[in-house]
Amino acid sequence: MSVNGAGTGACAVCLRRTWLIARLAGAIELAWAARRPLPALLALTDEELIAALGGERRERLRAEWEDFSAAAARQRCDDRAVTAICRCDRRYPPALRELPDPPAVLHVFGDPGRFVALVEQDCVAVVGARRGTPYGLEQARGLGRGLSAAGLTVVSGMALGIDSAAHLGALDSAGTTVAVLAGGAERAYPASKRQLHARIAAAGAVVSELPPGAAVRRWTFPARNRIIAALGRLTVVVEAGERSGSLITATLSLDLGRDVAAMPGLVTSPASAGANGLIVDGARLVRGAADVLELLYGAEAGQLTATAPTPAALPGDLSALLERVGGGCDTVAALTADGTGLDSVLAGLAQLELRRLVWRAEGGRYVCRAR
């Protein structure tokens, strides 16, 4: 058994630990639903876990645990092109060791070498609501784009909405992004994100604490969130409702002594209530990738990242139109309400759309591209 070697060289002890967690996933679900805190559960030793959660199966579980075959587990990983990196491995991300309950093994779908390189860079976690508004989605994508362009790694959970938008933004530029899944890393969850899953695996990496084939459970989401929080030097919340799971991720980062930032939204928008609340509570306000870089590296760094083409290069009428859209006149009806001709508004909007300075969201609203 190699402790420091390459390949699927996770040690037997860690593999057995992971196997046990997956084996007890149902029991953990019950205990968690009965309000036993997750970190306390995941910090138990194998023996304690079996004793606490094994119930009537305790004896059989113990026997299975003793007979555990690391070779078979490695084979299962190999079969699904998943690389297991355990906490005895020197490639294991040091940031995760700061958790009270670090995952025994990280299963990497995608090039493991690239994953290691990605987490050696500074990582920023970008999280938010699954049902993002067009504004939030665009800001998350812009953030992903800008951070990746500056060489940082964008970490998120590949959920619908904000998470996916952040990954997409990173894929738009340098592709430096890591998705942490709540189920097996080799399978897209949610299934509708199959394409995104493949793109992240090809350009960045998809990882999971659980072995291949593991299904998601309710507790695996907060468990996954602790990994996202731990990997990120900073967590940025883009849009979160008052009781969103993204706020849990933010709390977890604070517990780890990491910074939390939030992107503000309209004070009247329920979609941004959580994010705005974080700012009130002292989270750093960021308006885009430049602000994040400034937060991490100081005043000059903000200018390093690529931004959208400057509207200054636009003909005057188009930049005036762009300003009006950004100012909240975001529908054709609103833009023509002051008597501006419909024809020129339509033609102008199409010009802006073609230049990718605005895009059209549901309800016929135009959204300015994030800077």
Partner 1 sequence: MAAVLSRVATFAIDGIDPRPVWVEVDVRPGLPTFRVVGMAGKAVRESRDRVRAAILNSGFEFPARRITANLAPASLPKVGPGFDAGLAVGLLAASGQCPAEGLERWAVFGELSLGGELRPCRGVLSAAEGARRSGLRGLIVPRERAREAALVEGIEVAAVASLRDVAEVLEGGTVPELPPAEKALPDSPDTEIDLADVRGHVLPLRALEIAAAGGHNLLMEGPPGSGKTMLARRLPSLLPSLSLDEALEVTRIHSAAGVQRHPGLARTRPFRAPHHTISASGLVGGGQVPMPGEASLAHHGVLFLDELSEFSRPSLEALRQPLEDGHATIVRGQRALLFPTRFMLVAATNPCPCGYAGSERPCSCSDAELARHRRRLSGPLLDRLDLLMTVSRPSAEQLRAPAHSSSAVVRERVLAARERQARRLRDSAASCNGQLDARLVRSHVRADEAAQRALGRAYDAGALSARGHDRVLRVACTIADLDGRDGVGVDDVMQSLALRLRVADSWEVAA
Paired tokens of 167: 């990954």
Q: How far is CA 348 from CA 328, 367, 368, in A?
A: 16, 14, 14
Residue (142 or 302) nearer to partner 1, CB: 142
H or E segment to which residue 134 belongs = helix 134-149
CB of 337 to partner 1, least distance (A): 9
Q: Which is nearer to partner 1, 74 or 371 (CB)?
A: 371
Q: Between 37 and 364, whose beta carbon lies closer to partner 1?
A: 364
Is residue 126 a contact partner of residue 236, using CB atoms and an 8 Å limit? yes
Residue 90 CB, shortest distance to partner 1, in Å, is 35
Residue 202 C-beta-side C-alpha neighbours within 13 Å? 8
Q: How far is CA 371 from each of CA 69, 189, 237, 285, 307, rounded to the nearest angstrom? A: 52, 30, 17, 15, 5
Question: Apex CA 274: angle with CA 364 and CA 132, to 5°?
Answer: 30
**Neighbouring residues of 190: CB distance < 8 A, sequence distance ≥ 6:** 159, 160
CB of 327 to partner 1, least distance (A): 18
Tracing tokens 């037997």 back to the chain, one arrives at 12
Among 233, 85, 260, 84, which Cα is nearest to 153's? 233
Please, what is the minimum distance in Å from the beta carbon of residue 171 to partner 1?
9
Minimum distance from CB of 354 to partner 1 (Å)?
6
Smallest distance, Å, CB 204 to partner 1? 15
Q: Record the tokens describing residue 203, joined without a space.
A: 């350009």
Cα–Cα dist 300/103, whole Å: 37
Alpha carbon distances (Å) from 72 to 50, 55, 77, 168: 21, 26, 9, 36
Decide whether 6 or 350 has the Cβ nearer to partner 1.
350
How open is the CA angle 123-126-129, to the nearest 5 degrees?
A: 165
Binding residues (CB under 8 A) for partner 1: these are 130-131, 134, 160, 164-165, 168, 190, 192-193, 195-196, 270, 331-333, 336, 342-344, 346-351, 353-354, 356, 359-365
Q: Output 193 or 233, the one with its CB closest to partner 1.
A: 193
Which is nearer to partner 1, 77 or 321 (by Cβ)?
321
Task: Please confirm whether the linkage preceding 190 is cis (ω < 30° from 0).
Answer: yes
Q: In the bound complex, what is the minimum distance in angstroms from residue 192's beta carbon to partner 1? A: 6
Residue 127 Cβ vs partner 1, minimum distance, rounded to whole Å: 16
Tell me whether residue 229 or residue 240 sits nearer to partner 1 (CB atom): 240
When the beta carbons of 307 and 340 are compared against partner 1, the nearer one is: 340
